[in-house]
Amino acid sequence: MGRKLYRSRSQRMLAGVCGGLAEYFNVDVTLIRLGLAFLIFFTAIFPGLLFYVVAALIIPQE
């Protein structure tokens, strides 16, 4: 049976995207948040924020 990706209700700070990704990949949510922070602050701000906004719009709520 396949897993489904949802935005988390329990591990959310903004929209629950990082919490949902952490639950889907079975890793600590802190690692996902650090990866997103790295993407936003150390590469270019626009791609990281665009990823988060698009993910929040297309990933359904848990």
pLDDT tens digit sequence for 5-28: 999 998 888 899 999 999 999 999
Instruction: Name the more confident of 40 and 57.
Output: 57
pLDDT exceeds cutoff 70 at 1: no
> What pTM does this model have?
0.84
CA angle (21, 27, 29) in 5-degree steps: 60
Spatial contact of 22 and 29, defined as CB atoms under 8 Å apart: yes
Instruction: Kindly report the average pLDDT of the chain as a whole number.
Output: 89
Residue 2 has pLDDT above 80, yes or no: no
